[in-house]
A = this chain, B = another copy of it.
Amino acid sequence: MHATLSGEVVRAGERARERFYDSSGYGHPVDGGALELAPVEAAHLLYRGDLAAVEGPDGAAMDFRAFLSSAAVSEIAFLVYKDLRDRGFYLSPAREGWSDAPAARDAVDDGAVDFVVYPRGSGPWDDEVAHRVAVVSEREGVPADALGDLVLAVVDEESALTYLATEHREVSGTSETDLPAGVAGDLLSDRLFLWDPPAALYDAGFYGQPLDDGAGDVIQLSLLEAAYLAREGVLDVDGGAEAVVERGREVEGERFDRRLRVYESLRERGLVPKTGYKFGADFRTYADVDSVEDLGHSELLVRVLERGHSFSPRDLALDVRLAHGVRKEMVFALVDGDADDRDGVEWLSVTRLTP
Task: Give the segment of A288-296, A319-327, A342-350 that binds chain B.
Answer: A319-327
Report how far A279 CA is from B277 CA in the complex, Å.
18
Contacts of A313 in B (CB 8 A): 277
Contacts of A281 in B (CB 8 A): 318
Q: Are B209 and A160 touching (Cβ within 8 A)? A: yes
Name the contact of A189 in the complex, choosing from B75, B190, B317, B322 (C-beta under 8 A): B75
With A186-B65, A322-B318, A325-B322: A191-B159 Cβ-Cβ less than 8 Å? yes
Q: From residue 140 to 198 of chain A, which have CB atoms closer than 8 A to chain B?
A: 154, 156-160, 162, 186, 188-191, 193, 195
Q: Are B193 and A158 touching (Cβ within 8 A)? A: no
The interface size bin for chain A is 35 or more
Q: Quick one: closest B residue to A157, CB to CB?
A: B222
Q: From residue 209 to 223 of chain A, which have CB atoms closer than 8 A to chain B?
A: 209, 211, 220, 222-223
Q: Are A68 and B318 touching (Cβ within 8 A)? A: no
Name the contact of A191 in the complex, choosing from B75, B188, B189, B208 (C-beta under 8 A): B75
Report how far A274 CA is from B156 CA in the complex, Å.
11
Contacts of A75 in B (CB 8 A): 188-189, 191, 193
CB distance from A165 to the nearest CB of B (A): 16
A280 at the interface (CB under 8 A from B): yes
Report how far A260 CA is from B326 CA in the complex, Å.
33
Contact with B along A46-83 (1 / 0, CB 8 A): 00000000000000000001001100001110000000
Contacts of A317 in B (CB 8 A): 277-280
A109 at the interface (CB under 8 A from B): no
Contacts of A322 in B (CB 8 A): 318, 321-322, 325
Write the residues of chain A forming the contact surface with B, with a CB cutoff of 8 angstroms.
65, 68-69, 74-76, 137-139, 154, 156-160, 162, 186, 188-191, 193, 195, 208-209, 211, 220, 222-225, 251-252, 274-275, 277-281, 313-315, 317-319, 321-322, 325-326
